[in-house]
Structure formats: structure tokens, C-alpha cells
């Protein structure tokens, strides 16, 4: 009897333990299933936005735009681009893939494709046709991108129930973020002032897009001349309005306020891209996409990738220190505030994740720097091509040995120089080292054998892809670049091109900031971690733990 009682007591405790374990397991399963994803993720890439613009104009920003993101969101103050070149296509692809050019294949806006022996534009695709457009502007797709984006991974994770849409004036700013499996990507046709796409995504423009296009919003904006938002004498963070090193607004003969947009007839829709109204236009279209595609309204997370391209067109023209630049960002601040309010109302304050970053920064105009006794200068890659081809022809009797120079790389016509390649490379490197604006030159495939200081060495390794990169890389002095005497550009490893803003805002994002070094490649894996999905398959970035608390 006593033995049987012991067995009963033991069995009772075993049952209790099993029951407790089942409850714990059941609780864990419940927690695991309660992922609590946001209804919508919005990625905003501001083309050519330097990090310091967050603070340069801070006192003039409204409470609802950049200040709201800085004070209510999390800011990574020391985010860098860990590769070269720092161009639009490379930046947009890296933001959304977490990849470097070595794993994404996007080594520039343009490159020489060795396998087919021709220059390639990053999103060109001869196998598709434009939809809403009958010329080359519509023949675009993401097929040149080798890896997945975080937007692709979101689609995969939901068995393609999540909707993904990319929007930007520039085709590459819409297509590369949206990824391979997107429901749509829309970009701007500057001949007609309409949003277009390609047969890669669809065979006909949706009704809501046709309705938006039919309003000719661009024509309406261009009836308004561009004058400063505030009295021009209050723009104390900028140079004087009439500076000789600023270029003219497209299709005008002016680089001073006010800009008589209403008087532009030829190229009106192209000129529009250079005005701050183009950002407003982009946000208006993004709102229509949210409304008509019912983004953020189902049980799965949707993703809207928006890029503001007009800041780049404007920045190239007027530079970092122009009144036009200050005015553009003050107006953009109001557009962002309005868009965040729209998301609050339409999606709900605690139902979306929003991040803001840039694809690259920009250099000061050399003319401005020289005015203040700072070293700077420009040179011409096209002139370099002529000079190098002449040297090779004189020394080796070979014509047109250089196919091109782009991305600060020399591309050889390998079929022409094959038998004398080593001697020609040695001659070209010797010539380039003599140029006063160049500080180092090396064969791209021999970078590991070259003495280059970090972090430059890693950046050049990360940017190298054998089938798409050039044969020789040259490094120029800080504040020197390929360009003219007016306006500015970007593309180098230097902080003015590589230091970008990065802010996260929205659902479960605590306010804060850090100055620890982070990278553009960290954005995609962080979004993947927030959504609890796989990171993109070419990603080399790390998860930013600060936004997962």
C-alpha cells in the first residue's frame, strides 16, 4: 500500500510538471506568434542630402518635419557609406540590400559591361517596354541588381501578400529600392510630366495613376514662380544669391531669385525636376499610392519606398551653400511634416515604421572653397581619356586603347591592348601619378598588394566587381573631382560624400541618438530584424540594436 502511494505521489508531481511545461510552451508559442509587425514601412531616401543639413538649418525647421524625426525618433549621427563610388544607384541599392557593390553588382550609375563589351546604365533593360512611355525612358527594370532587397524579403516572407511600391523622379531611385518582386515602381517622364513604369511590372498604367497624370499637376506647379519661402535677407546660412560658381536653372539663363518658371516653355517638364515643388509632387503621388493601393490596410506589412530626387538635381546646379539649397530644405521640411501627418491619420501613429536616409552627400563647389583659401579643384575625365589614348598611340601604335574613364576608373579596350597589356598599364599608371590632383593609382585587381590607408582600402575593395569595374583606379585629393567650374558633384570616399543622415521613427522606436560608427549597409538588416524576416541575400550589414529595444 505504501509503495502504491509513493507511485501515485510521483505520478502526480510528474503530471504537474508536464502541465506547467505545456503552459510555458503554450505561452512561448503565443509570444512567438504575436510578432506585432507594423502595418506599413516607409523608406525615404533624400538624394544628395548631406548629414550636416539636419543641423545647418535646424533652427528654421518646423516642429513636425526634421525636428520631429530628430527629437521623437532615433538618429544614427555617424552613418557612413563603406564603399566607393558614392553615386545614386549604388546608394539606393545598398540602402535596400545591405550589400556593397561587390555583392550587388551595382558599381555605379553607369559602367562598362565586359561580357557584352558596351556601356551599361544601372537599370536599363532592352527586354522590356515602357508603360505610359514609348521611348528609352521606360525600358527599365531591376535585372542588373544581383541580390535581393529587404522589400523582396518582405514579399517572400508573406508568400507575396505584402505590397511593395517604389516611387521617385529618377528611375533608379524607384526601381532599385522596390526590388525584383515589387508590385510596382513608378518614375517621372520629364518629356511629358507624367509618372511611368515598364512591362517588367505591368502591361497598363493603373486607373488611379492615369487619373493623377491627367491633372497635369506639374503644369500647375510651373505656373508658380520660385521665390524664397521667407525674406531673402534671412537666409544667413547661405552665400549671396548671385555667385559665379553656381550654374543656371535648367532651361533658363538665371541662377538668382526669383525664378520665372511660368515663362519656361521649352523643357518645362524637365526644368521642374530642379525645383522644390518636385518634392511636393512626389509626396502627393505617394499619398495617392497609399490610398489607392490600400497600403497598410491588411493583416500583412506593406512597404512604400520613396526617393526625393529633386534635391540632387538642385544640389548639382547650385551647390552646398546656395540660398536655393537652404530654401529647398526648408520647403522639404514642410513636405515631410505634412506626409508624417498623413501617415498618422491614414495608417495610425503606432502602426508604421518610417526611416530617412540619403544615397550620398555632396562636395562644396571648389570655387566657393578657393574663395575662402581652402584647397580644391576640378579636372576632366574626358580630357584624360584623350591624353591617355594619345600617349598609348604614340608609344605602342594602338588607337583607342581606353574605352572610357568613369567612376574614377580607367577601362581598357582589352581586345585592342591584349598583347601589350602589362606595358600599357605601367605606362598609364606612371602618367596618372604625375597629375597634381591624384594621390594614388593602382590596378583594381591588385588592390590588396597596394599600400593604401584605411578606411580607403576597404572602401575600394568593397566597390570592386571584376566583370563591371575598371582596370585602373585613381584616388584624387580631397575637394577635387571630375567636373566643371560651376555646380558640384559627389562620388568619392570622403566624408562630404559618404556621411549621411539616418533616422528611424514610428512604432516601438524609442527617441535617442548615437555617435558610434554605423553604415549604410546596416539599414536593410535592421529593417529585416524589426519585421522579423530574413535579411537580403547579399547583405553584409549589422543590425542596429538601438532601434530594437
Write down the pLDDT at residue 116.
85
Residue 150 contacts residue 535 (beta carbons within 8 Å): yes
Q: Which element (helix H / strand E) includes 119?
A: strand 118-121
Angle at 528 between CA 523 and CA 531, to 5 degrees: 130
pLDDT at 100 over 80: yes
Render 280-344 in DSSP notation, one character per residue: HHHHHHHHHHHHHTTTT-SSS-EEEEEEE-HHHHHHHHH-TT-HHHHHHHHHHHHHHHHHHHHHH
Among the listed residues 79, 88, 148, 521, the single catalytic one is 88
State pLDDT tens for residues 407-443: 999 999 988 888 899 999 999 999 999 999 999 999 9
Predicted confidence at residue 33, as pLDDT, reads: 43
The average confidence (pLDDT) of the chain is: 93
179-183, 224-228, 252-256, 419-423: which has the minimum mean pLDDT?
419-423
Position 3 scores a pLDDT of 43
Amino acid 534: pLDDT = 98
127 carries an active-site annotation: no
Q: Is the peptide bond before 386 cis (omega within 30 degrees of 0)?
A: no
pLDDT in tens, 104-125: 999 999 999 988 888 999 999 9
User: For 247-273, what is the mean pLDDT?
Assistant: 96
Determine the pLDDT at residue 484: 93
pLDDT reported for residue 26: 37
Query: Is pLDDT of 158 > 50?
Result: yes
Task: Read off the pLDDT of each residue in 165-191 and give the average, rounded to a whole number.
Answer: 98
Which fold would CATH assign to domain 378-478?
Gyrase A; domain 2 (3.30.1360)
Mean pLDDT for the stretch of residues 43-71: 98
Asked whether the predicted pLDDT for residue 451 surpasses 70, the reply is yes
Q: How large a percentage of the chain has pLDDT more than 90?
A: 90
Going by C-alpha positions, the residue among 548, 541, 546, 547 that lies closest to residue 149 is: 541
Q: Is there a contact between 490 and 508 (Cβ–Cβ < 8 Å)?
A: no
Q: What is the pLDDT of residues 500-528, one digit of tens each?
A: 999 999 999 999 999 999 999 999 999 99
Name the 3-class secondary structure at 32.
helix
Average pLDDT over residues 56-82: 98
Confidence category of residue 10, pLDDT binned at 50, 70, 90: very low
Interatomic CA distance for residues 164 and 160, integer angstroms? 9
Min mean pLDDT across 78-82, 413-417, 534-538 is at 413-417
Q: Which residues pair with 195 in a beta bridge?
A: 188
- The pLDDT of residue 34 is 56
What are residue 157's DSSP bridge partners?
none
Return d(Cα 64, Cα 24) in angstroms, integer: 44
Q: Which residue has the higher pLDDT, 542 or 4?
A: 542
Contact in structure between 315 and 488 (CB atoms under 8 Å): yes
Q: Are 87 and 490 in contact (CB under 8 A)?
A: yes
Calpha distance 239→321 (Å, rounded): 6
Tell me, what's the pLDDT at 377? 97
Label residue 467 exposed, middle or buried (CB < 10 Å: 0-12, 13-18, 19+). exposed
The mean pLDDT of 454-467, rounded to a whole number, is 96
Per-domain residue ranges of the chain: 76-371+492-548, 378-478
> To 10 degrees, what angle do helices 150-157 and 88-97 make?
30
- The predicted model gives 331-341 an average pLDDT of 98
3-state helix, strand, coil in the chain (%, to 5): 40, 15, 40
* Placement of cell 505504501 in the chain: 2
CB neighbour list of residue 4: distance below 8 Å, 6 or more residues apart: none
CB atoms within 10 A of CB 11: 10
CATH number, domain 76-371+492-548: 3.40.720.10
* Mean pLDDT (whole number) for 217-235: 97
Q: What angle in degrees, to the nearest 10, is found between the helix axes of 88-97 and 171-178? A: 20
Calculate ∠ Cα 203-291-49, nearest 5°.
Answer: 90
Distance CA 411, CA 468 (A): 10
Amino acid at each position: 500500500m505504501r509503495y502504491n502511494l509513493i507511485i501515485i505521489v510521483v505520478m502526480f508531481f510528474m503530471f504537474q510538471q508536464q502541465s506547467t511545461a505545456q503552459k510555458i510552451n503554450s505561452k512561448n508559442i503565443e509570444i512567438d506568434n504575436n510578432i506585432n509587425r507594423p502595418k506599413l514601412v516607409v523608406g525615404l531616401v533624400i538624394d544628395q542630402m548631406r548629414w550636416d543639413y539636419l543641423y545647418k538649418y535646424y533652427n528654421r525647421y518646423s516642429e513636425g518635419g526634421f525636428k520631429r524625426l530628430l527629437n521623437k525618433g532615433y538618429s544614427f549621427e555617424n552613418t557612413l557609406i563603406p564603399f566607393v563610388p558614392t553615386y545614386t544607384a549604388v546608394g539606393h541599392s545598398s540602402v535596400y540590400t545591405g550589400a556593397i557593390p561587390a555583392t550587388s553588382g551595382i558599381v555605379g550609375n553607369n559602367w562598362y559591361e565586359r561580357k557584352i563589351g558596351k556601356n551599361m546604365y544601372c537599370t536599363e533593360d532592352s527586354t522590356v517596354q515602357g508603360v505610359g512611355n514609348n521611348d528609352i525612358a521606360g525600358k527599365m527594370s531591376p535585372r542588373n541588381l544581383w541580390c535581393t532587397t529587404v522589400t523582396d524579403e518582405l514579399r517572400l516572407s508573406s508568400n507575396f501578400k505584402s505590397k511593395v511600391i517604389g516611387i521617385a523622379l529618377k528611375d533608379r531611385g524607384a526601381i532599385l529600392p522596390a526590388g525584383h518582386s515589387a508590385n510596382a515602381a513608378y518614375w517621372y517622364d520629364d518629356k511629358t510630366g507624367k509618372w511611368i513604369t515598364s512591362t517588367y511590372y505591368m502591361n497598363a498604367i493603373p486607373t488611379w495613376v492615369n487619373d493623377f497624370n491627367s491633372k497635369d499637376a506639374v503644369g500647375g506647379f510651373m505656373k508658380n514662380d520660385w521665390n524664397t519661402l521667407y525674406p531673402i535677407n534671412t537666409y544667413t546660412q547661405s552665400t549671396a544669391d548671385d555667385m559665379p560658381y553656381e550654374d543656371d536653372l535648367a532651361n533658363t539663363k538665371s541662377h538668382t531669385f526669383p525664378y520665372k518658371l511660368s515663362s519656361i516653355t521649352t523643357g518645362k517638364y524637365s526644368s521642374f525636376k530642379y525645383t522644390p515643388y518636385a518634392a511636393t509632387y512626389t509626396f502627393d503621388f505617394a499619398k495617392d499610392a497609399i490610398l489607392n493601393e490600400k497600403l497598410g490596410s491588411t493583416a500583412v506589412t506593406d512597404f512604400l519606398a520613396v526617393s526625393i530626387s529633386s534635391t540632387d538635381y538642385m544640389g548639382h546646379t547650385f551647390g552646398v551653400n546656395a540660398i536655393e539649397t537652404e530654401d529647398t530644405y526648408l520647403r522639404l521640411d514642410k513636405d515631410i511634416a505634412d506626409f508624417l501627418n498623413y501617415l498618422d491619420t491614414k495608417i495610425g501613429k503606432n502602426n508604421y515604421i518610417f526611416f530617412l536616409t540619403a544615397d550620398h552627400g555632396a562636395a562644396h563647389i571648389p570655387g566657393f572653397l578657393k574663395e575662402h583659401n581652402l584647397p580644391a579643384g576640378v579636372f576632366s575625365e574626358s580630357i584624360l581619356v584623350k591624353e591617355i589614348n594619345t600617349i598609348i598611340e604614340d608609344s605602342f601604335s594602338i588607337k583607342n586603347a581606353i574605352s572610357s574613364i568613369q567612376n574614377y576608373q580607367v577601362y581598357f579596350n582589352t581586345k585592342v591592348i591584349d598583347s601589350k597589356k602589362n606595358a600599357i598599364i605601367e605606362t598609364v599608371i606612371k602618367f596618372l601619378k604625375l597629375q597634381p590632383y591624384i594621390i594614388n593609382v593602382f590596378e583594381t585587381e591588385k588592390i590588396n598588394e597596394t599600400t593604401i590607408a584605411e578606411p580607403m582600402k576597404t572602401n575600394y575593395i568593397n566597390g570592386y566587381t571584376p566583370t563591371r569595374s575598371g582596370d585602373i583606379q585613381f584616388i584624387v585629393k580631397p575637394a577635387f573631382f571630375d567636373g566643371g567650374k560651376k555646380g558640384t558633384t559627389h562620388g568619392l570616399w570622403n566624408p562630404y560624400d559618404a556621411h549621411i543622415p539616418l533616422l528611424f521613427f514610428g512604432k516601438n522606436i524609442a527617441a535617442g541618438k548615437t555617435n558610434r560608427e554605423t553604415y549604410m549597409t546596416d539599414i536593410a538588416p535592421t529593417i529585416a530584424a524589426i519585421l522579423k524576416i530574413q535579411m537580403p541575400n547579399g547583405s553584409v550589414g549589422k543590425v542596429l540594436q538601438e532601434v530594437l529595444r
